[in-house]
Structures are given as C-alpha cells and as structure tokens.
Chains A and B, each alone.
Chain A
Amino acid sequence: MNSPWSLRDYVFAAFMTIGMVASIFLVGPFVPLPFLDLVMWAPFGGIFLTLGMARLQRRGSVALMILPLAVLLLPLSPLITLYLVLTPLATEAVVFFRGNYRSKANRLLGTVMFFVSGVLIGLGSIFIVPALVNTGEFIEEDLAKIIEKFAVLLNNPWLLGVLAVAAGITGSIGWWLGEKVVHQLQRAGKLDANA
C-alpha cells in the first residue's frame, strides 16, 4: 500500500504527540478551576500541534498526531479515546475544504478548530447524559453524581460558548508561539516548512 507519509513523518508526528502529552502533565498542576484544563493547555499543546502541521503539511496531519494517542489510551478510558478520535476528525473535516497545512492561515484554522471542537465535544457531551437516562442507558444514581459535578455547566449552558471562545483564543496563542518556534527551527536549518 502506497502511503503519502514517510518514515520521517511518522517519527516526527509521534514526537509531537509526546510533546503534547508532556505539556499536559506540565500544565495540569497549575489549572486553577475545573473545566479550564483545555483552555490552559491550549497555548502549550498548540505549539506542538502547529509544529507538526508545519512539518507534515498534508491533510490528515492532526489525525496522524492524535489517533495513536487515542489508541494508546483505549485500555485506560474508551471515552477519552472517543473524544480523541472525534476532535481531530472534526478539525480535519474543516481543513479538508481549505486544502492542506502549508499556509499559516490554515494552520491557525486547524489549531483553533482543534481546541474549540475539543471543548464542544468534551464538555458538550455532558448534555447528552439526560438523553441517555431517558433511553435507559444510564442509571439515575450515576446521573445525580454527574449533575452534582457539572451543575455549574448544566445551569449555565452559555459557559460552554465562553469556554470554547477562550480555548480558541488560547489556541491562537499556541499557534503564534508555534510559528515562532517554526521560524527558529528554520533559521537553525532543522525544519523545512513552507511557512
């Protein structure tokens, strides 16, 4: 089977994934409020995401970086895996109509889409829970615990929009920092991205 990707691409994508996971561990202890994890992580995760897109450039770059992580986390949590599959697919679906990741604008769009869809899919899924209870998939005892935890969000659905916008903004900061690193790597002769 002919693949558009080379060995170098696969290895680079894997290392960017490692960078994203490492930055989650770095930012984690400093998150001041619940639900803000993704917003706080976006500037750091965005650096590696932008770097991966700048180096790999083709459609499917985001999926190539995130899907192995989704498979790796499958034994730990099928829900996180589902979230990690849906988020890059949403991003790739949007960027598909724009071409590839050669231009800075598309990389910005890809980064913003990734984090915004991350918030909408991740936190938005809480609104599906009552529907699951109605169909009998979820028992009410568990629902009470979830509602208790996410009461703030369920009572204020507009917060989801605010968080999505915040993730988009911090994701843009991540893109901007990522482009700065891309520029530095190009000057050092370590990256051949057509920025």
Chain B
Amino acid sequence: MPTPRQVRRSPLSRINPFLKIGLSFGLIGLSLFLRHIAPMLVLLGGVLLLMTQLKLRPLILGYILLMVCIFTGSTALLLQNWPEAIFSTLRLLAIVLPTPVLALTTPPADLIRSLQTVRLPSFLTLSLMLIWRFFPLMQQELQRIWEANQLRGIDLKWRPGKWFSGLMVPLVFQMVVYADEVTVGLQTRGYSPTEPRSNSKPLHWRWADTLFCGVAIAWLTLICYLEWGR
C-alpha cells in the first residue's frame, strides 16, 4: 500500500482512480475467461507496459521472478504439461498484477477524493484512508519490535510462546498511542465524520482520462477479438 510520498508522479498517477479501478476489474474478469495464449499475452503485455510506470526495487523484481518460476515449475510437475503450466502462470499474473499496478500509481488523497464523489458513508472513507495510510507504518512497528527482541537475544521465529508478551502487547500499546494521536490530530483540524468535507482539489474528468479510456477500450477490444472474434 503506498504512502503519499511513495507514489511517484507518473502519467498514470494523474488518471482518474475510478477508471483505474474499472480497468482493473475488467482485466481480472477477462483473464478468468480467456482460453487462448495470444489474447492472454496481449493482456499481460499491456499490464507489464503499465508496470514500467512503477519504480520497483531490483530485489522485489527478483523475488517476483523467483516466485513465478517456482509456481510454473511446481505446476508443470503436478500437471505433467508445460504449455498448460505456462498458461496457468500467465493467468495467475493477469489476475494478480492489475490491482497492485493501478493501486500503486494512485495517491491515497486521489483515492479518497474519488470515494467521496460516490458518496460512500464518511466513516467508511475515513476508515479506508486510515487503513491505507497506517498499515505500512504498523508493519514497520512490528519489524522494529521483532528486531528489538533479537537485540535482546530472543529470536521470536523459534519461540512462538513469547509472541504474546514480546510482540503483541508492545504492538497493541503502540497502536493505542497512534490511535489517540491520530484522533487528537483530526479533532484539532476540525474533522467531523458526520459533517460534509470541503475539498480543495475536486476530481475532474480531463483529456488524459479520455485518452486513457480510449486506449483501454481498444486494448480490451483487441483481447476480446483475439479470443472470440477470429
């Protein structure tokens, strides 16, 4: 989940979040129905092209490649059929990749702005924003507590009995402190979950959205043509 600073301002990050969510749904749905390799390759190729907008660390890329190889190898061993194993891998990638690719190019503020326009209950918008924003932070806290235990000579990996006192209790205390601070922060800024929120940057439909929409429709049409049209 990206924090505001992690989202690189790329052309894709300026596209309407609804369009990206819709496209993501469309791609995942379509990938479930494809039975031929050519449309699957076109779908995945497009997703990989979108991935170039992300700045991924080589370590993460290497990890993803390793996982893909392991999945393909184990599927081929189980099915005794390499072409089907490769097709399964392509389908898996087509299902798994669109959402993170499009989510990682959406700044949280834009996502919240778009959620506000569909008039979701404000508590839901607030909860989503908090989960989106603070989940990575809490993971970092968890990592810090884990490392603090290692410094004291306790390797929690091999001592699950210590997880409660050594990991969960400090984490809960940290979370309660965070929750209090965030509440005070929101209150001092006059935030109320029941009042309508003002918006300094309302979401508008721009020419880039139209262009993206056109390209996406052409892409999906090509995939459908390759699958069912020939």
Question: Which residues does A use to contact B, with CB under 8 Å?
Answer: 1-3, 5, 7-8, 10-19, 21-23, 25-26, 30, 44, 47-48, 51, 64, 67-69, 71-72, 75-76, 177, 181, 184-185, 188, 190-191
**Most interface-central of A3, A23, A75, A181 (chain B CB within 10 A):** A75
Q: Indicate if the CB atoms of A181 and B99 lie closer than 8 Å.
A: no
Q: Is B112 an interface residue (CB 8 A)?
A: no
**DSSP majority for the A interface?**
helix
Q: Indicate if the CB atoms of B103 and A17 lie closer than 8 Å.
A: no
Which of B106-123 touch A at CB < 8 Å? Answer: 120, 123
Q: Which residues of B contact A190 (CB under 8 A)?
A: 173, 176-177, 180
Q: Is B38 an interface residue (CB 8 A)?
A: no
Q: Indicate if the CB atoms of B103 and A10 lie closer than 8 Å.
A: no
Q: Indicate if the CB atoms of B183 and A68 lie closer than 8 Å.
A: no
Q: Indicate if the CB atoms of B130 and A76 lie closer than 8 Å.
A: no
CB contact between B131 and one of A5, A12, A30, A69 (< 8 Å): that residue: A69
Q: Is B52 an interface residue (CB 8 A)?
A: no
Minimum C-beta distance from B79 to chain A (A): 10
Q: Which residues of A contact B176 (CB under 8 A)?
A: 12, 15, 185, 190-191
A123 to B153, CA, bound (A): 40
Q: Is B138 an interface residue (CB 8 A)?
A: yes
Q: Indicate if the CB atoms of B131 and A11 lie closer than 8 Å.
A: no
15 A-B pairs whose Cβ atoms sit less than 8 Å apart in the complex: A1-B194, A2-B194, A3-B193, A7-B191, A8-B179, A11-B183, A11-B186, A15-B176, A15-B179, A19-B172, A22-B171, A23-B168, A68-B124, A181-B169, A190-B177
Q: Which residues of A contact B177 (CB under 8 A)?
A: 190
Minimum C-beta distance from B184 to chain A (A): 9
Question: Which residues does B use to contact A, with CB under 8 Å?
Answer: 21, 24-25, 99, 103, 120, 123-124, 126-128, 130-132, 134-135, 138-139, 142, 160, 163-164, 167-169, 171-173, 175-180, 182-183, 186-187, 191-194
Q: Indicate if the CB atoms of B179 and A11 lie closer than 8 Å.
A: yes
Number of A-B contacts (CB under 8 A): 110
Minimum C-beta distance from A10 to chain B (A): 5
Q: Indicate if the CB atoms of A22 and B131 lie closer than 8 Å.
A: no
Q: Indicate if the CB atoms of A14 and B172 lie closer than 8 Å.
A: no
Minimum C-beta distance from B27 to chain A (A): 11
A15 to B126, CA, bound (A): 12
Minimum C-beta distance from A103 to chain B (A): 21
CB contact between B168 and one of A12, A15, A181 (< 8 Å): that residue: A181
**DSSP majority for the B interface?**
helix
Q: Indicate if the CB atoms of A47 and B130 lie closer than 8 Å.
A: no
A16 to B176, CA, bound (A): 9
Q: Which residues of A contact B175 (CB under 8 A)?
A: 15-16, 18-19
Q: Which residues of B contact A30 (CB under 8 A)?
A: 160
Minimum C-beta distance from A153 to chain B (A): 19
Q: Indicate if the CB atoms of A67 and B178 lie closer than 8 Å.
A: no
Q: Which residues of B contact A14 (CB under 8 A)?
A: 126-127, 130-131, 134, 179
Q: Which residues of B contact A71 (CB under 8 A)?
A: 120, 124, 128
A103 to B160, CA, bound (A): 30
Q: Indicate if the CB atoms of B193 and A10 lie closer than 8 Å.
A: yes
Q: Indicate if the CB atoms of B142 and A22 lie closer than 8 Å.
A: yes
Q: Indicate if the CB atoms of B173 and A10 lie closer than 8 Å.
A: no
Q: Which residues of A contact B124 (CB under 8 A)?
A: 67-68, 71
Q: Indicate if the CB atoms of A18 and B24 lie closer than 8 Å.
A: no
